[in-house]
Chain A
Amino acid sequence: MDPILIELYRHRFSGVADEMGVTLRRTSYSPNIKERLDFSCAVFDGAGGLVAQAAHIPVHLGAMPASVAAALAAFPVWRPGDVVALNDPYEGGTHLPDVTMISPVFLDDAGEAPRFFVASRAHHADVGGMTPGSLPLSTELYQEGLIIPPVKLYRAGVRNDDLLRMLLRNVRTPEERRGDLAAQRAAHTVGERRLRELVARHGAEEVLAYAAHLQAYSERLVRAAVAAWPDGAYAFEDALVLDDDGPAERVPIRVCARIEGDAVTFDFTGTAGAVDRSFNAVLGITQSACYYVVRCLAGEDVPVNAGCFAPVTVTAPEGCLVNARPPAAVAGGNVETSQRIVDVALGALAQALPGRIPAASQGTMNNLTIGGLRADGTPYAYYETIGGGMGAAPDADGLSGVHVHMTNTLNTPVEALEMTFPFRITRYALRRGSGGRGRHTGGDGLVRAYEFLAPATVTMLSERRDAGPWGLAGGAAGLPGRNVLRRADGSEETLPSKFTRRLLPGDRLRIETPGGGGHGAPEDGPPPRT
């Protein structure tokens, strides 16, 4: 292994993934993909090992290998031009709106088997199911939309039009889906072309060898980082709150982080069982959340590939909230439970690394889906997430009005949204004073207010509405969020953290997102000027 070529191949492989991402972003149709960057592109080796990933949101970190594994299990034989699509959370997916596509890359010299795979995952704005936007308050998977097990959408370059028709007939916005699927395939075409060019320039032997060396390199870097952490077992507990139906129910998530030498295990034994709501997470999500935490601590310049994850073990009892089994509903597991998994993993490691771990951030994505009919009668489905306060770190205040941890999606411009959808934004502002006080102050949440012009079905999946994100080292908690509905008749109602409502013209919805926790007792002294 040549220490110089390693660095060159880091550039080469991540360049391929990046370029796939540029193509997908710029040619897609879902606001989720093109405006909010809720997608990832990746390169895999022939065995399904992740070689490089361009991820804009951490919840996709290391989650695509399960997709490639599922596709490989489903299809032993691949041909050039094949494209497999899937979204089944129990067969390589996460939640149904995330549609993953996988294409084999064959080299001219090689025989039967693909030497690489390229893959993309994108959050489609709607895949059917009980509410527009496909993030419902469901009780089983079947309500959440069209389930796509690994299927070949293209065989040897020929699209399976029957399958596509079937798929499009089951979603609310078929033309958008058609465009997004085309954009994903275009990204694969670019990825495949670039990999073949690499091989043409440097030879298959070298390119394949360095795909493997790069993984070993990342593994060394992560092991070196973990080896510097104090050995021990560190436990922490936090909870989700289910309040949409009857009295609020607390659903605990427990973790024990065991640091042993250069490896770490996150053991979720003691976590509540799966719930009859959509907040169950498949193990892939739990892994992503733990990988995210380790990556934050190991340094972001470690190339993302299978090697990064080798020193990290994630275990959870079968059938529990964070390792759900079919047919548990999972729509919100990806977006909400994943944030709480990060919180407990950080809470555990704060005991081992007190000088490095921040207070809790907003701990939710405030997922709002809105659907109905436009004035011309065409259906629409809109999804957005709202930023909030970031937890204060031992050395810095938390940022205000940003997405935290497992997501980093952009907002949709008000001027883009109002040109397309029959609702308006009447306020979008920082929620001043919502960050927890401390030697370093938590970031402030946001306020976003909506006015509806036509009847709409609105679903909210949010968290941290009963109690705010915790502070650390004596810092105060941030303010909890609030969801407030003001009907056209002037009546006002504070809605639970999770709800589906039919709203009418003139109704107004106001979302206030949580502030981040503070760090350090305020009496330790005034916060340094920043």
Chain B
Amino acid sequence: MAKKTEERRQRVGIDVGGTFTDFVWLDGGRLTVHKGPTTPRDQSRAIVDGLDALGVAGDAAVVHGTTVATNALLERRGARTALLTTEGFADVLAIGRQNRPHLYRLSLRRPPPLVPAAGRFEAPERLDAHGRTLIPLDETAVERVAERLAAEGIESLAVVFLFSFRNPAHERRAAEIIRARCPGVMLSLSHEILPEYREYERTATTVINAYVQPLVARYLARLDEALGARAAAQGRPPGTRRVMQSNGGAIGLRQAAAQAARLVLSGPAGGVVGAFALAKQAMNTETPEIITFDMGGTSTDVALCPGAMPHTSESVIAGLPLRLPTTDIHTVGAGGGSIAHVDAGGVLRVGPESAGADPGPVCYGRGGERPTVTDANLVLGRLHPDRFLGGSDAVRLDAAAARDALARLGRRLGLSPEAAALGVLRVANATMERALRRVSVERGHDPRAHTLVPFGGAGPLHACDLADALGIRRVLVPPNPGVLSALGLLMADVVYDASHAVLREAAALVEDPGPLREAALALGASVREVLRKDGFAEIALEVRLDLRYAGQSYELDVPLGTPLSGASVARAVAAFHAAHEKRYGHARADAPVEVVTLRVRGAASVAPPDLPAEPPADADASVARLDASPVWFGGEAPTPTPGYDRDRLRHGHRFEGPAVVFQYDTTLVVPPGRSVRVDARRNLWVER
């Protein structure tokens, strides 16, 4: 309990991005935000520097979002990795699903597999679909593989045998043999990493783990040491240290190092956790229904939270399937840097090409010549040349150059520069709208019932237009949209997920839930054990089932009530029919249902802090008012539009659109017809 109280007082969320490392420090009732330059060679250096700059005590709890695993994978800088498979199946990793990545290209390249052919070994062994041994494990073959691993300086080995999720004996025995002969080689066993069927997906996920694990383990050890040394220098015991996982929960360093693949998609998860936690407090409910909209320079992430954090087990990274529980985020490759052009058919297109950060948009003045979405926003007065990134001299925007670029585009379309710029925004927003529809309408959720939470550098610029397109009435803009991921780290529960392949008819389990109960108990115990080792005793377990109609290939997950009984399984089946109806528009109440996977999630709440609140000021927002400037919202002429300084907006302030709200790292555009109010935590509510 003491630990928890301490955590409530002193906690830092640290999110490492490509350029900046963001800090959000909760010190008693006060939140402090800090940005420092990222140190790509050793991310922990920026962390220590930032903690020093802020003056955070060495015993403060640190929750960290790291891109070490992600970058290792995307940049192919992982460990020297080998793969051991059932004889006859070493190439499964290279073949994948035997489809080509693009249908209509006569010339294709694809990245080489994470493990080259020379590192893919086989051992005679085979189980049948029930896990019965058909061919016993050839132990001498495994011994020979161990010799090769040692000879070739392999750091990490993935072991994937067919049907090991039914019976892990062969994988375990192979691991014993390798461990005895090559104690330095890290092992990733498929029945531990992903005990689910589909050999390619399990192989890829296990190999990803093997590939990133040594780097992640070394990095976390370094971080642990650096934070320990920092605390020791202050004569304090080190505080707890955790890292964010892809599932939106934090986990201790030891466990994170053991299953490094669980960190690979943690980057965008922090933002969704932050948005969800913030919405809980802002909306005063445990089950806020929100859609998050994180628009950056080159890509945009959207997620729908239907009163809970959304999860999926069907992610893809670097062209490889990653079948671990992940925050369900849909990403589109479009952002502020997307380039607008007129195609051979005379139609305005935006993207997929991006100006990225270098040269960046035309208005950055770094050599970009083709107009981007950011340039269009500038031409329309939605960005202010002198107020970008807090008006720093480093990035004064060149409005004239942007206008010239849009004028050239406009001439090809027979439009004025402003009309062309409005077109660019409409087309860019169509891509965003499609992404938002994908996570809402296409999954049976009505976007109109949700609150849109924009963040990232460009999210608030586009949020109201998108809200209008989707019929969303309320937009919630966090106080610091640029560091929401770091805030998410601060707010995240400690979470550990485990799964078990069931693959049985639901009716049989309603009749006799015994096997399911046993499996759930065993999974629950292992989840508790993992969290106990990280120092957590109070753990809430959530049990879910992945169900499908027998014969389908895709599952929907539903909660399984405890205590686990035939009746609770029957209720889960009923919930599945309803979920199928909601998502796909039809259900087959008379068709047999199959239980595919049992999932147990253990969560140790670390008592998310209350975000600081303030008493209301009066409603007059004029203290924050800046000069009016012309802003285009459509039509033939710009509208004189007042600006507001976000830093001076206080609880209780209200104003009407049109308006533009400026702050350090983002700009909010409020079109006519929407009004803004500031709540106790200085969130902006933009409502129609």
Contacts and interface: CB of A to CB of B under 8 A. Distances in A.
Interface in B228-287: none
B100 A15 contact: no
B200 interface: yes
B627 interface: no
B100 A221 contact: no
Interface in B330-357: 342-350
B100 A402 contact: yes
A488 B580 CA distance: 46
B104 A408 contact: no
Contacts of B586: 27, 182, 185-186, 189
Contacts of B117: 430, 432
Contacts of B344: 220-221, 224-225
A419 B503 contact: yes
Contact of A23 (B100, B342, B350, B585): B585
A403 B100 contact: yes
Nearest to B97: A410
Interface string A387-428: 100100111100111111000111101111011000011111
A434 to B, nearest CB: 13
Contacts, number: 194
B591 interface: yes
Contacts of A6: 345, 347-348
B100 A409 contact: no
A396 B107 contact: yes
Contacts of B346: 3, 217, 220
Contact of A427 (B88, B200, B347, B585): B88
B53 interface: no
Contact of A390 (B97, B108, B163, B503): B108
A57 B104 CA distance: 10
Interface in B526-576: 549, 551-554
Contacts of B343: 221, 301
A22 interface: yes
Contact of B423 (A4, A225, A357, A401): A4
A453 to B, nearest CB: 9
Nearest to A8: B430
B517 interface: no
Contacts of B503: 419
B129 A402 contact: no
A58 B104 contact: yes
A34 B591 contact: no
Interface stretch (A92-100, A153-161, A292-300, A491-499): A292-300
Contacts of A4: 348, 413, 423, 426-427
Contacts of A411: 95, 97-98
B197 A34 contact: no
Per DSSP, chain B at the interface is: loop
B89 interface: yes
A416 B198 contact: yes
B463 interface: no
A341 interface: no
Contact of A356 (B106, B345, B347, B413): B106
Nearest to A361: B106
Interface in B87-123: 88-92, 94-95, 97-100, 102-110, 117
Contact of A358 (B98, B106, B437): B106
Nearest to B556: A26
Contacts of B201: 413
Given A7-B430, A413-B198, A414-B199, A300 B104 contact: yes
A55 to B, nearest CB: 8
Interface string B673-684: 000000000000
Given A29-B552, A179-B551, A449-B88, A399 B129 contact: no
Contact of B100 (A8, A37, A390, A446): A390
Nearest to A4: B423
A25 interface: yes
A250 interface: no
B99 A409 contact: yes
B345 A403 contact: no
A446 B95 contact: yes
Interface string A280-309: 000000000000100111001100000000
Interface of A: 3-4, 6-8, 11-12, 15, 19, 22-23, 25-29, 31, 34-35, 37, 55-58, 175-176, 179, 182, 185-186, 189-190, 193-194, 217-218, 220-221, 224-225, 292, 295-297, 300-301, 346, 356-358, 386-387, 390, 393-396, 399-404, 408-411, 413-416, 418-419, 424-430, 432, 446, 449, 530
30 contacts: A4-B348, A11-B430, A15-B437, A22-B442, A27-B554, A29-B549, A34-B552, A57-B103, A217-B346, A218-B345, A220-B346, A296-B106, A300-B104, A356-B106, A357-B106, A393-B108, A394-B107, A399-B110, A402-B98, A403-B98, A404-B100, A408-B100, A411-B97, A413-B197, A413-B200, A415-B198, A415-B199, A419-B197, A429-B88, A446-B95
Which 3 residue pairs are nearest across A and B when measured between Cβ atoms? A393-B107, A427-B88, A387-B98
